[in-house]
A and B are shown apart, each in its own frame.
Chain A
Amino acid sequence: DAGVTQSPTHLIKTRGQQVTLRCSPKSGHDTVSWYQQALGQGPQFIFQYYEEEERQRGNFPDRFSGHQFPNYSSELNVNALLLGDSALYLCASSLSLAGGQETQYFGPGTRLLVL
């Protein structure tokens, strides 16, 4: 049973460029959340996708967008990259149930460096 997978593992971009990160959820999960983790800090919630729609968003600008596909996999897109976007980007998957969701399981992350 595969866990959460993310690609690529590392990425280097320059300011102003655009980046797309990918996530495949754990088998049986239908919900994907994305987090940004700066060095030495806890993960910060970016947004969550369920039924191919964004259903909650954290305090991130519109430069951050996402998509969920019918097979529940997801992409995170960041436009007009800034130096401050350098971070570990984590994907977490879970199963949504009536009244809440089950535990989130995290992938290994994509380390993004913006130069």
Chain B
Amino acid sequence: GESVGLHLPTLSVQEGDNSIINCAYSNSASDYFIWYKQESGKGPQFIIDIRSNMDKRQGQRVTVLLNKTVKHLSLQIAATQPGDSAVYFCAESYTGGFKTIFGAGTRLFVKA
């Protein structure tokens, strides 16, 4: 069935280092992918998205990479800060569909 999963449930990085969070998806029809950040007690916050006609998209300190060949996407956070500590979810959807499928999440710990 459809699924979006994450390779690493937890990730611990030193402040100032770069972080990479990985995600695999199985629905080849998915053409829109989103990364969300969720802090404790809050709803998911949109970080960055990418459509299947692209393989890379950059935002402020974040980059999303999409590899459609192996159905993999990643979120790179540059110069990770303590405020980046949260759970990160990748999510997928497809044109003509209205449902967004979320993965289980990766918890990012940033050590000062």
**CA gap between A48 and B93 in the complex, in Å:** 13
Do the beta carbons of A42 and B104 come within 8 Å of each other?
A: yes
**CA gap between A109 and B46 in the complex, in Å:** 15
B residues less than 8 Å from A90 (CB atoms)? 43-44
Taking the closest CB of chain A, its distance from the CB of B13, in whole angstroms, is 21
Do the beta carbons of B100 and A104 come within 8 Å of each other?
A: yes
Chain B contacts to A: CB under 8 angstroms: 32, 34, 36, 41-46, 49, 89, 91, 95-105
Of listed A33, A56, A106, A108, residue having the most chain B CB within 10 A: A106
B residues less than 8 Å from A101 (CB atoms)? 98
**CA gap between A31 and B101 in the complex, in Å:** 17
**CA gap between A4 and B42 in the complex, in Å:** 12
Chain A contacts to B: CB under 8 angstroms: 4, 31, 33, 35, 41-45, 48, 50, 55-56, 58, 90, 92, 99-101, 103-109
A residues less than 8 Å from B34 (CB atoms)? 103-104
**CA gap between A4 and B105 in the complex, in Å:** 22
B residues less than 8 Å from A105 (CB atoms)? 46
Chain B residue with the shortest CB-CB distance to A56: B98
Q: Specify which of A58, A100, A106 is in contact with B99 (CB 8 Å cutoff).
A: A58
**CA gap between A43 and B44 in the complex, in Å:** 9
A residues less than 8 Å from B101 (CB atoms)? 45
Do the beta carbons of B102 and A44 come within 8 Å of each other?
A: yes
25 contacts between A and B (CB under 8 A): A4-B43, A31-B98, A33-B100, A35-B102, A41-B105, A42-B102, A42-B104, A43-B102, A44-B102, A45-B100, A48-B99, A50-B98, A55-B98, A92-B43, A99-B96, A100-B95, A103-B34, A103-B46, A103-B49, A104-B100, A106-B36, A106-B44, A106-B45, A106-B46, A108-B41
